[in-house]
């Protein structure tokens, strides 16, 4: 399955108007990074606290070792200035790019409960707006 | 997109995929999670869980110690992709785990 996914990512169209986005498994870090080896970038979604940041760091370093051109963290569920500072400090201390931050947004949980996509549940939610703002920054560089 | 379970990886991936598509990109979203939920985050109904098309094992074969695909991406998409809202094409790598079905 991983070999198949890796191969598909390798042949995915890469014209400027094409985006191939891969949702990797949460565990088995070595395997997941190997699956994404043909990608242009890997983003590790982290929550602004210790174990989540540590997982993000490990994944980022593995991806970097594998030669992915861009490796960065995306901070999620950020609940204020203090969270933001903690993530930014962690990224700087570990020399990992912080691509952006998404605020904690209750509507994502509500969307999940309602069985809807966050975008359909509340298209103007601040989390959705933050993701939209982040989107072009993920394709450049 | 990678991350610890519960960090919001799949919600972000699904939302990003839809927003890229709304902005005019051609988007191929691939769910490689063993618990494939990306279809939900993309806005497909939960009932689709029962008939999620997944990659057949035959799409790769071993050659000279490496692997190659036996089908083109168009063929793979024609055979086993799902059309998600805003024109996103979804490929699901793993069958959802359901009790009793293996």
CA distance B96 to chain A (A): 13
Q: What is the CA radius of gyration of chain B?
A: 14
Mean pLDDT of chain A: 92
Check B55 against A76: CB less than 8 A apart. Answer: no
Q: Please count the residue pairs, one from chain A and one from chain B, whose beta carbons lie less than 8 angstroms apart.
A: 187
CA distance B100 to chain A (A): 21
Residues of the domain holding A99? 2-104
Check A26 against B30: CB less than 8 A apart. Answer: no
* Per-residue pLDDT, A3: 82
A18-23 sheet: strands from edge to edge: A18-23, B26-31, B89-92, B81-83
Mean pLDDT per segment of 10 residues, for chain B of length 102 residues? Answer: 88 98 97 89 92 84 87 91 97 66 36
Note the ipTM here. Answer: 0.93
Kindly report the CATH number assigned to the domain that includes residue A72.
Answer: 3.40.50.300
Sign of the alpha-carbon torsion through A55, A58, A62, A64 = positive
* Per-residue pLDDT, A141: 63
User: Which residues of chain B lie closer than 8 angstroms to A18, CB-CB?
Assistant: 25-28
Q: What does the pLDDT look like over A75-90, one tens digit per residue?
A: 999 999 999 999 999 9
* Per-residue pLDDT, B68: 87
- Residue A26 falls within a domain, yes or no? yes
Task: State how many domains chain A has.
Answer: 1
- Residue A32 falls within a domain, yes or no? yes
Q: What does the pLDDT look like over A10-54, one tens digit per residue?
A: 889 888 899 999 998 766 666 677 788 889 999 999 999 989 999
Check B55 against A108: CB less than 8 A apart. Answer: no
Does residue A117 or residue A33 have the better pLDDT? A117
Contact in structure between B90 and B14 (CB atoms under 8 Å): no
The pairing of strands A18-23 and B66-69 is unpaired
């Amino acid at each position: 399955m991983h070999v198949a996914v890796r191969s598909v990512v390798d042949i995915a169209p890469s014209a400027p108007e094409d985006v191939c986005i891969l949702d990797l498994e949460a565990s088995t870090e070595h395997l997941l990074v190997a699956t994404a080896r043909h990608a242009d970038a890997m983003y590790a979604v982290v929550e602004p606290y210790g174990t989540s940041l540590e997982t993000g760091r490990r994944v980022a370093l593995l991806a970097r070792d594998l030669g992915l051109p861009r490796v960065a963290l995306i901070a999620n569920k950020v609940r204020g200035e203090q969270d933001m500072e903690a993530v930014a400090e962690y990224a700087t201390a570990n020399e990992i790019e912080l691509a952006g931050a998404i605020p904690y947004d209750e509507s994502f949980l509500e969307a999940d409960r309602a069985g809807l996509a966050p975008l359909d549940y509340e298209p103007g939610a601040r989390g959705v707006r933050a993701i939209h703002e982040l989107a072009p920054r993920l394709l450049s560089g | 997109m990678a991350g610890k379970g519960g960090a919001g990886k799949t919600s972000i991936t699904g939302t990003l995929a839809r927003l890229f598509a709304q902005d005019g990109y051609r988007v191929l979203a691939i769910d490689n999670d063993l618990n494939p939920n990306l279809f939900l985050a993309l806005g497909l109904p939960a009932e689709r869980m029962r008939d999620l098309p997944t990659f057949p094992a035959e799409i790769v074969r071993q050659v000279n110690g490496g692997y190659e695909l036996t089908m083109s991406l168009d063929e793979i998409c024609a055979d086993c992709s799902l059309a998600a809202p805003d024109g996103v094409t979804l490929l699901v790598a793993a069958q959802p785990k359901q009790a009793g079905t293996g």
